[in-house]
Chains A and B, each alone.
Chain A
Amino acid sequence: MSGRGPIFRPGASAKFRACLLLGFVLLLAVTDAGYAFYHSPWWSRVGFASDQPVLFSHRHHAAELRIDCRYCHSSVETSPFAGMPPTETCLSCHSQIFGTTALLRPVVVSAETNQPLRWNRVTRMPDFVYFDHQIHVAKGIGCTSCHGAIGSMALTAKGERLDMRQCLECHRDPRPFLRPSAEIFLPAWTPPADQAARGAALAAHYGLALRHLTNCSTCHR
């Protein structure tokens, strides 16, 4: 009744252990890679510029020419939505200068045909998040806190991750990010050395009520 040898050859156990180890290492590697990818700009799109109908440079307009943010994003102080400039806003200057260049052709065509420009969104919030621009700029949060160093962007790219962690970090304690009213719309801003003291003073100045800032319904409804 015999005729059957052992099922496992010598060394099978060692191979099996090696495979287990390899599998474990592989699992770790994949998890790590996933984690790294999730935290990389390839996932969050930070620093990636989208294609746009017009090669518009915030660096040139906002930083070099020092055009105020509100010249184009005119409803940022009154509305949840900061506003996108209508074609006529572009033409208020560009009917005089560079109006005939190929670069500005789409803008001119838009005005001639009364067809709007279609910009690709750079900063996108999920549908269940309700962000209100007006209250942030009224209470000392500047543009670059969320939109990044817009003054150095030749092509506009997403400047911050803008995930819920980032929102909550500030909603729990906005003091490190608070600026005086005059500095809200600066195209570049770094906190001064005494931000801790200044932030506390500014929070009092703006009359910030903090408790309700971390309610779910502040952003989700």
Chain B
Amino acid sequence: MPPLTSLPARSPEFAEGADVWPPDLDRRGFLGLMGASLALGGLAGCRAAKTLVPYTHQPDSVVPGLPSFYASACPCEGFARGILVEAHEGRPTKIEGNPRHAESGGAADAVTQAAILALYDPDRSQAPLHQGRPASWPEFESAWREEDRRLAPVGGAGLALLTEPTTSPTVRAGLHRLLDRFPRARWFQHTALARYDAEGFQPDYDLAEADVILAIEGGFLDRHPAALRYTRAFAGRRRVEKGAVRANRLYALESAWSLAGAMADRRLAAPPARLPAILNAVATAWSREPLPETLDREERAFVTALTADLRRPGRKVLCIAGDEQPAAIRRWAQRLNQVLGAVGKTIRYRAAVRSDGDPRSAGDLGALADAIARGEISALAILGANPVYTGPADVEFAARLARVPFTLHLGGYADETAAAVRWHLPESHFLEAWSDLRGYDGSAVIQQPLIDPLYDTRSLGEVLRLLAGDPPLSGYDLVRATWRARLGADDFDGHWTRWLNAGVVDGENTPTANPEPAEAEEPVPYLDPEPAAALTLVLRPDPWLGDGRHANNGWLQELPRPFTALVWDNALLISPQLGREQRLENGDLVRVECEGRVVEAPVWLVPGQAEGCAVAHWGGGRTRAGAVGSGRGFDAFRLQSRSGRARGLKLTATGRKTRLASTQHQFAMDGRDPVQTFALRDLGRLRPEQPAISLYPARARDTYAWGMSIDLSTCIGCSACVAACQAENNIPVVGKEQVLRGRVMHWIRVDTYFAGEPGAERCHSQPVPCMQCENAPCELVCPVGATVHSSEGLNEMVYNRCVGTRYCSNNCPYKVRRFNFFDFRAAADSILHLQDNPEVTVRQRGVMEKCTYCVQRINRARSEAERDNRPIRDGEIRTACQQACPAEAIVFGNVADPASAVAQRKAEPSSYSLLAELNTRPRTTYLAKMINPA
């Protein structure tokens, strides 16, 4: 992984002591040294590959110099996301969404984008470990045979398996076969993340249909296995096209910001303790009874407006409860949907796709810990999970684990659990192994590897087979056997090839079923009020790291978190009011005490968060994540209890401070209105922006004039664009110290603004790439002509001319230029270079860089179009950010063609330029954010 805390450690240019003046160096010696450095520096420039190495037998599918794309699946909490993986001569470099898979629709979120970096992570586990010492697979196999001899005669009594819930038919079949072999063995499942099913059914929302949506604690735009599909559908109801929109209205009721809350037309921030009372009031208002007196003014107004909207005839309504919510609230939402008549219209139920409720499963981590405590477990196989880190504090799993004589752990990293077991086995990355997965909608996808395992690793399916004592079978044969059994041998190979090509197994959707309403007349259940608590702790998965599994991914660590723009650390998020009361500022370390469990954490104030709660994200405080992820932030799992409840939170200031790195320093718009909004009812009154007058003649336009339009009505602020840009354009990770100095390198950033009165804040997200100004201020000040204007309107950055004055960056009003203060490249022999996009220069120290509108994609498309003697088609070029965006908020194309999608968007009356008063005439423009208040 690239450099981390201080200066780039591996780069030879900053050797220890190099910046210290040696005491015995005189003037003459200094001049000699300088001369030699100059001469040697010149020599160092001559590096280029000197040999050409052709294949001996060239595969038919490979055209050297052109990327190939393979369809596969990326696991997301066990569910499939269809992906297309770009490979250059067998080297996977980028992950895109698979347009043919409904759960992707061509988009890919930040975590999926970053998975390619994990493949090349040098900290991955590379060989089996026996009690922490390197071992081999044959050694483990003989150890297991011995264990097998002990277990087999007793039917596997004492054997326990712990996996994460899975959707893979092959893995499930492998588990079942293992349980058949050891009938008395027990299979437990553990995930710290949400469970999406209840009573065997999982809800699926139709956001394209819903007119009025109540979202309780977020739950559908962020961190949901179907989030990409939901985002696309939701955005379709927010997009203003040709001055018209069939807008939905979103009500959000939440304690802390979620992406849904930021998109809401009306949002109420309420601490979790108030939730039952407010929801009860909604039910009361629905049955036209007077609202209880306990509601305050804002709560009352919210409930009144919501119920009035729900009641309006002809509206399709939907209630969504966040998946981390207690079962009672999720049941309440389900019941409300039945009462509102939403079931079958905007919400459908489908038999659970994931194995959480598998009848052969024996329970969760708590049940396993109890069984160990009772002395029932003599051998434990932990397959894929990391329960020592992700287990609730009061389970004390590490201590329990020590009581089991034979323990093994299969995982991609030698993590906390690996350190606590007898055998650690390295697991293949999903781009190295054959498997199969199902999406949230039940669709099956074959997980196709792009590359042979880089290390001596095996997949879960292969290990299950090894444990079951069956003769070894490759992952490929295992997956084929699963599907051959389903399909029969009839033209299996033809089907198989088609599935691999398309990335989706056809005809494999789990049909939707509507569970019978329990009793049609039953009212919405009454929620027991919570005891009034001054402060409640809300524990959430980290937006990027989840339960900490992605902690060693530098891209994700350095990807600004929504609403805080924090990188590299997690913090305890509190409201500014609470901060004022307790005299806490950003970065103050507090002692967090909750039901006897204690951690120390820095606080961060977030406007718009409910007052009576503090939010902590999991994923920090890892001790064995790897060089990148270990020791970042604090471990919120130490506050987690088995029951999931966390009342009686107490914060005590320690008087100490820590420095938190945030990429944004100002969250208020201060009257400059970078994000413009309009109420839907004012749509007809919008007037198009008039370009400012200029003394200079307009620039002549070429055949193509590239431009971009970003729709703030649909942008949910998920940062998929940032991660996609990082993957496409070889953007380095710089580390926390450098971020603190303002040297983050992302070419596109997502700015967050809080607007409105305290208590009724709105949150706006705004992706900001280079504006590619027609009157670019940066170009005027470059003394060496390293940034110039192209005939097609690109503001070009020529690295080989740049001498690093940084004048351009100083003169850029949008602050989108990035400077390589150090050599941020990985070491020359680093495996990380395998991820590099060969179409984009890897920049060196002293060079300015910025968004290029993915000029490599423009050039590729132009080359192909001109070769075929045709113009470049509209939509043929898609920038990396545009391609990844699940909301289709970004459109790129030729503004000189009035029929192009981007020209149409720019013709909308809501189109505006950022800082238009500067008359920079940006080619990147925005569509103002539409809000649909009642």
Query: Are A79 and B66 in contact, CB atoms less than 8 angstroms apart?
Result: yes
| CB contact list, A87-134 vs B, under 8 A | 87-88, 110-111, 114-121, 124-128, 130, 132-134
Decide if B325 is an interface residue (CB 8 Å cutoff).
no
Measured CB to CB, the residues of B under 8 A from A are: 47-58, 63-66, 702-704, 788, 790-792, 794, 796, 798-800, 839-841, 852, 855-856, 858-859, 862-863, 866-867, 869
B64/A130 in contact, CB under 8 A:
no
Q: Is the CB of A87 within 8 A of B65?
A: no
Partner of A75, one of B47, B49, B65, B704: B65
Given contacts A88-B56, A215-B794, A215-B796, contact A221 B51 (CB under 8 A): no
Chain A count of residues within 8 A CB distance of the other chain:
43
| Residues of chain A lying within 8 A (CB to CB) of residue B794 | 215, 217
Assess whether B52 is in contact with A121, with CB atoms less than 8 Å apart.
yes
B-binding segment of A5-13, A15-23, A25-33, A204-212 = A204-212
- A217→B54 contact, CB < 8 A: no
A4: interface (CB < 8 Å): no
User: In the bound complex, how far is the Cα of B869 from the Cα of A217, in angstroms?
Assistant: 21
A110:B852 contact, CB within 8 angstroms:
no
Asked whether any CB of chain B lies closer than 8 Å to the CB of A216, the reply is yes
The main secondary structure of chain A at its interface with chain B is loop
Query: Which residues of chain A have C-beta atoms less than 8 A from B856's C-beta?
Result: 130, 221
Residues of A within 8 A of B56 (CB): 86-88, 110-111, 114-116
Q: In the complex the two chains form, is B58's CB within 8 Å of A134's CB?
A: no
A165 at interface by CB-CB < 8 Å: no
Of the candidates B64, B704, B858, the one having the most CB atoms from chain A within 10 angstroms of its own CB is: B64
Contact, CB under 8 Å: B863 / A124: no
Determine whether the beta carbon of A217 is less than 8 Å from that of B790.
yes
CB of A75 within 8 A of CB of B867, answer no
Q: Is the CB of A86 within 8 A of B58?
A: yes
Cα–Cα, bound, A133→B56 (Å): 22
A135 within 8 Å of B by Cβ? yes
Q: Is the CB of B790 within 8 A of A78?
A: no
Can you list 19 pairs linking A and B with CB atoms under 8 Å apart?
Answer: A75-B66, A84-B64, A86-B54, A86-B56, A116-B55, A118-B51, A121-B50, A126-B48, A126-B800, A128-B841, A207-B866, A209-B703, A211-B702, A215-B794, A216-B790, A217-B790, A217-B855, A221-B839, A221-B840
Minimum-distance CB pairs A-B, first 9:
A81-B65, A84-B54, A79-B65, A215-B790, A86-B55, A86-B58, A138-B867, A87-B56, A135-B863
Complex Cα distance, B60 from A88, in Å, reads 12
- Interface-central residue, B52, B840, B852, by most chain A CB under 10 Å: B52
B852 touches A119 (CB 8 A): no
B622 CB, min distance to chain A CBs, angstroms: 37
**Cα(A111)–Cα(B54), bound, Å:** 12
A217 to B855, CA, bound (A): 7
State whether the Cβ of A34 lies closer than 8 Å to any Cβ in chain B.
Answer: no
In the bound complex, how far is the Cα of B794 from the Cα of A135, in angstroms?
21
- CB nearest neighbor in B for A139: B866
Q: Closest Cβ of chain B: how far from A211's Cβ, in Å?
A: 4
Please measure, in the bound complex, the distance between the C-alpha atom of A218 and the C-alpha atom of B790, giving whole angstroms.
9
Q: Which residue of A lies closest to B795 (CB)?
A: A217
Is A216 touching B54 in the complex (CB atoms < 8 A)? no
Given the known inter-chain contacts A118-B53, A215-B790, A217-B852, please indicate yes or no for A130 contacting B859, CB distance below 8 A: yes
A87 near B54 with CB under 8 A, answer: yes
Residue in contact with B855 in the complex, picked from A119, A133, A221, CB distance below 8 Å: A221
> Contact partner of A119 among B52, B58, B867, CB < 8 A?
B52
11 further interface pairs, Cβ-Cβ under 8 Å (given A80-B65, A212-B703):
A81-B66, A87-B57, A88-B58, A118-B52, A128-B799, A211-B702, A216-B798, A217-B790, A217-B855, A218-B859, A221-B856
Q: Is A83's CB within 8 Å of the partner chain B?
A: yes
Q: Is the CB of A134 within 8 A of B841?
A: no
Complex Cα spacing A103 to B619, Å: 62
B861 to chain A, nearest CB (A): 11
Q: Among the interface residues A134, A215, A218, which one has the most CB atoms of the partner chain B within 10 A?
A: A215
Contacts of A75 in B (CB 8 A): 63-66
Determine whether the beta carbon of B49 is less than 8 Å from that of A220: no
User: What's the minimum C-beta distance from B894 to chain A, rounded to whole angstroms?
Assistant: 13
